[in-house]
Amino acid sequence: MNKLSLNCKKSKTMFFGTKQQVSKTNNIKTHCGGQELEVVQKYKYLGMILDSELNFKANAEYIVSKVIPRLGILGRARAFVRAPYSICTNS
């Protein structure tokens, strides 16, 4: 076939659904290569944080936490940058 293999040390388990549906999965165990996989509520995949409810709140909070400090740096740097001159002529 495709000869792909699964790295059991890096694998985790996540169940998707409403809070009530996800809470019913507490007793479900998943295994890979004889090892029990860790169950997580959120996971960062390809730069995006997925959570078990797929509401993207955790991802939005992560993005805001990264953007706010950078906006502060830009705001402080603005004092050192002169505004470009306007090239308006009155005819």
> Whose CA is closest to 42, among 60, 27, 24?
60
Domain assignment of residue 66, given as a range = 12-78
Q: How many domains does the chain have?
A: 1
| 48 and 73 Cβ atoms separated by less than 8 Å | no
Establish if 42 belongs to a structural domain.
yes
pLDDT < 50 regions, the chain: none
CA distance 45 to 86: 46
Handedness of CA 69, 70, 72, 73 (dihedral sign): positive
Q: Indicate whether 4 belongs to any domain.
A: no
pLDDT at 76: 82
Distance in angstroms (rounded) separating the CA atoms of residues 34 and 27: 18
Structural domain contains residue 7: no
User: Does residue 33 lie within any of the structural domains?
Assistant: yes
Model pLDDT for residues 6-28, shown as the tens digit of each residue: 899 999 999 999 989 988 988 89
Spatial distance between the Cα atoms of 37 and 33, rounded to a whole number of angstroms: 10
Give the model's pLDDT for residue 72: 86
What are the backbone dihedrals phi and psi of residue 8, each rounded to the nearest 5 degrees, phi first? -65, -25
Q: 84 lies in a domain? A: no
pLDDT value of residue 60: 93
Asked if the structure places residue 68 within a domain, the reply is yes
